[in-house]
Amino acid sequence: MKKIIFLFCLFPILSFAQIHRCATDSLHRYKLATDLNYKSSYLENEKFFNIQNLLKASINDSTYIIPVVVHVIYHADNAEVENVSDEQVQSQIDVLNEDYNIINENILDVPAIWQPLVRNSKIKFVLANTDTNGNYTNGITRTATNITNAFSIFDNRIYSKADGGQNAWNSNYYLNIWVCELENNVLGFAAFPGTIQNSDGVVINYKAFGRFKNTKAPYNYGRTATHEVGHWLNLIHIWGDDNGGCSNDDGISDTPKQANSNTRCPSFPKTDACTDTAPGIMYMNYMDYTDDRCMSFFTNRQVERMKLALSTNRQSLVTSNGLASPNINQPDVSIDSIENPVTYSVNRCFQPRVKIRNNGNTIQSNIAFNYAVSAGISKNYMWQDSILPGETKWVELETIGGDFGSNLFEVRIVNSDYNQVNNYKSASFRINNTSNFNCTILSSISIYPNPVTNNTFLTIDANYSESQKATIKIYSNDGRVVYSNEYKFNPQDKLQLSNLNLSAGIYQLEFHGELNHDVKKFVVVNK
């Protein structure tokens, strides 16, 4: 009997599309129909929520900080991709903070007529520092599952360590996010407020979790989690889940009525049977189904509804100890935030600025940073100041450049310390200037030192005005290729080559780029 019900409920998922963007509504309807405890709990909380809404419960404009625990569940034979890295986890937290605080790079794409509706939710997400027992945590659990297949949306084993998944931390005080392989190309689903506590949270397919890296386009900007956390905060789909009808909507007064979901990236304005005049439907809203790169904002009333959830059904999160600072005896310096670049930069070359925090109980100094733009050649910087226990400081890194248009800035602390998860941050941003304003850009490469000894670094400066991929080849004096590799060069990038093991002699280095081609000679001498 269970199998018959399961197949019946799964049918809409399989027939909906090859990729099922979100299974929240399918799972919700199934549980309402089959689980009396779920139905009772949900309806009671929804009744309370609606009464508060009718009474216009006061919603202040303060910032809500939500402790997050990410439960990574992976198959051992596919751990390389399913057991997502600490950096991938942090990249997803970064995306949530950008999207919920309107510092996402594509916020600039919101049509002018809807820009007055855009609102900063001031909801922030931080990986938990303290677990349910008051012990230190990095906010990530990892479980090698003994379950051989992918999880279905109806599989309660996701939430049970004894059955091959991972138990929820107390959902009154933590946002639980499970990351695992989901069957039938489901990207994610979430629990509405007031549902069963052991499964209260968000589940994301590892293929759509975080930004770039092991994610799959067009769901590679981390917006699946943005969408599902919206459900967790009591938002429903923007079209109201009424199967194409116009009588129902999402209960939000400042989102236009919409017949059904949208996919890919429509052109603005787009109209449909429910809203047949311009500006049409709000397909770029986070609660639609468009590609990650096309989702860009929540409306004022959506933010109000989410904050109402945080002041009613989910108010206990405000009193959580999940972000308490445990006493850390070991060195632990973290990257707290990125001030620049955020959203956009007017210049092709800019100076990054990050805030660091000393979480340990000893003074720290000589902190090394590694950073890059859009997978370009990374730069290293040694910060030689000192930072006291519990103190935060701003660090200005050396100038770096990027492409006109969309970019991703990534920075990490490379010192070994107690918690490596908080050593990484990323920020998406846009460069609006096609010129090299305030940058000193030459027109060729330079290499040094020249001569170079056969056991030291050879540095290549690519002083071009445009980012490009390039193949670096080194030829010996008799024409043999002794080194060849491809790199992504951004303006002002420096590439250091080591361990070349070249014999003494004269060599020719060739830079063969998508836009530029240069040749330089250099000499290798014995030490």
Specify whether the CB–CB gap between 358 and 333 falls below 8 A.
yes
Six-digit token string for 437: 């304003």
Look at residue 518 and give its three-state secondary structure. Answer: strand
Specify whether the CB–CB gap between 323 and 65 falls below 8 A.
yes
Specify whether the CB–CB gap between 331 and 339 falls below 8 A.
no
In DSSP notation, 438-453 reads T----SSEEEESSSEE
- Residue type (1 letter), 127: L
Q: Exposure string (b/e) for 369-396, b if CB count within 10 Å is 16 or more?
A: bbbbbbebbbbebebeeebeeeeebebe
Q: How many C-beta atoms lie closer than 10 Å to residue 512's C-beta?
A: 15
Considering 228, 304, 410, 466, which one is annotated as catalytic? Answer: 228
Specify whether the CB–CB gap between 214 and 229 falls below 8 A.
no
Q: Bridge partners of 511?
A: 472, 518
Q: Which of 191, 189, 275 is nearest to 13 (CA)?
A: 189
Taken in order 381, 387, 390, 394, is the CA torsion positive or negative?
negative
Six-digit token string for 351: 């100076």
d(CA 93, CA 127): 8
d(CA 294, CA 221): 10
d(CA 411, CA 417): 16
Active site residue 228: yes
Residues designated as active site: 228
